[in-house]
Structure 1
Amino acid sequence: MSQNSEENTRRGGLSVAVQHLAQNRTEAALLLTRLTTIALTALYLVPLSPLPLSSVYQKALLASAATSALRLHQRLPPFRLSREFLALLIAEDSAHYLLFAVIFAANNVLSLALLPVALFAFLHFSSQTLALIDRSGPRGVVGNALSTVVESYQRSILQTVSLAEIALMPTLVFALLSGMTSLIAPFIYYRFLALRYSSRRNPYSRQMFRELKVSLQTMVLRAFCPQLVRNAVNAAIGLVERLAPPILT
């Protein structure tokens, strides 16, 4: 294929993608908010922006909140004040992450809170971009790289997100004890974690809780583990099991 033909193919593919986004404005907005979340998280980790880190942190969470709100707009029927609508809202993963963004945007900076939203944004931005590339023509190098991310690393990314969600609970408790967060934040976050545990679409939180339980039980059964630690770990596991919510159906 000549250079002019390749250039025409690229231009034609780009025009198809642009036309699709123009006709699907919510999808275009999602692409933008996800990219914004990724970029702001990168700026927080590598502070090249003149803005204070706390401002970059909050803007990243607000971009994530905008993504969640747009997804709810896509997935939910028109709002109506009813028990059925509330049940649909609570069952949506996007509603969980809208709550997540509000919790952490309203409190002091906890860097770990950016990990789940950034990974979700990266994964879905990759999937969305790959779909646009497939719609526009041959995948090429970029498309193949995104395909690898989506197909090969999706499970690992979602497991990392779930582990970060769980690790944020004791982090919030320690932040409360040190005066770095409000008294109500851990209680609201427990509700978020309960929603993630009972999510119908995302089983990774339940799987990660089970894997952590097995790992801890294996550790405390070893001979070198002090009885005091063994008792504390078993008590903690029992508490978590008692607090575990039913799975939504």
Structure 2
Amino acid sequence: MSETNTTNESTPQRGLNFNALKTHVLEHKIFVALLCTRILTIIFALGYIFPIFGTSYNAYYKALLSNAATSALRLHQRLGRVQFTSAFFRELVREDSCHYLFYSLIFLYVAPITLVLLPITLFAILHAASYSLTLLDVLGQNAWWGARLLISIVEFQSRNILRLAAFTEIMLMPMTIILIFMGKAGLLTPFIYYHFLVQRYSSRRNPYTRNMFHELRVLLEAGAAKPSMPGILKQILLRVVSISCKLAPPQVAQQ
């Protein structure tokens, strides 16, 4: 009987380890808070498209606010306390989280546009999936294999997700100009968004926007070089490339 008890005690439990999960949550409160705000971003974005609970209008702005909360938490995590120094400000504006905090603030004062929610939703899905896998590992190696499968699909497509987010960021630039003529955005919106796009282009940690600009330039130049391309369209394409190159910030060598 004693041998049986000893064997049972020495055998690791295969159930879900909720005690380990509780300990992990208490030790990583900001990470868990980030997961919650990202999940809220996804829920509100879906609520905008499928307004089952509440109105799509409210869901749209709640998605932007939850993304702003995510960005603010991430900035606090990376930079700590706010310091009123030029060095802190320079570091602040170079952070990707600052860019998307700025992004949310820009579109809080613009009429709802479905395309605006795409980048923040994609980033929320990508980062939420990554941290959810960490929580599943804490629960146990065999916990919720179905969720692990979905997470693995997201991680496998991470490069395409980041490229799509970068492409959307770029396409929103002409969209903001169109919105002025539609009466859905202010005159300053394109200029403010341009500064956001400049920061994304210069990002240290995420080169996808910069790479996407290069891919689009190659694509447009190749299209303009086709013999079958009408002269007017060729001039338009080359003009778009020329203007984009002039507006692009100078490249700074990475340290």
- Percent of aligned positions with the same letter in both sequences? 38
Inter-partner Cα distance in structure 2 for 1:57 and 1:240: 30
Match of 2:160 among 156, 162, 167: 156
Whether contact under 8 Å (1:200, 1:247) holds in the other structure is no
Match of 1:102 among 97, 102, 105: 105
Residue in structure 2 matched with residue 184 of structure 1 by the alignment: 188
Inter-partner Cα distance in structure 1 for 2:67 and 2:186: 22
TM-score, normalized by length of structure 1?
0.92
Match of 1:172 among 173, 176, 188: 176
Structure 1 gaps, min length 5? 1-7
2:249 is equivalent to residue 245 of structure 1: yes
Structural RMSD (CA) = 2.0
Query: Between Structure 1 and Structure 2, whose CA radius of gyration is higher?
Result: 2
Whether contact under 8 Å (2:75, 2:98) holds in the other structure is yes
Inter-partner Cα distance in structure 2 for 1:184 and 1:70: 28
Shift of 1:189: 0.3
Shift of 1:52: 2.3
Which stretches of structure 1, 4 residues or more, deviate above 6 A after TM superposition?
A: none
Question: Residue deviations 1:24-55, cap 9 Å, x none?
Answer: 21111111100000011111111212x22211
2:71 is equivalent to residue 82 of structure 1: no
Whether contact under 8 Å (1:199, 1:247) holds in the other structure is no
Equivalent positions of 1:112-151 (< 5 A) are 112-139=115-142, 140-150=145-155
Give the SS at the match of 2:75. Answer: helix
TM-score, normalized by length of structure 2?
0.90
Q: Size of the alignment, in residue pairs?
A: 243
Whether contact under 8 Å (2:16, 2:140) holds in the other structure is no
Shift of 1:247: 3.8
Whether contact under 8 Å (1:197, 1:247) holds in the other structure is no
Whether contact under 8 Å (2:48, 2:55) holds in the other structure is no
Structure 2 gaps, min length 5? 1-12
2:216 is equivalent to residue 207 of structure 1: no
2:46 is equivalent to residue 42 of structure 1: yes
Whether contact under 8 Å (1:93, 1:199) holds in the other structure is yes
Whether contact under 8 Å (2:126, 2:154) holds in the other structure is yes
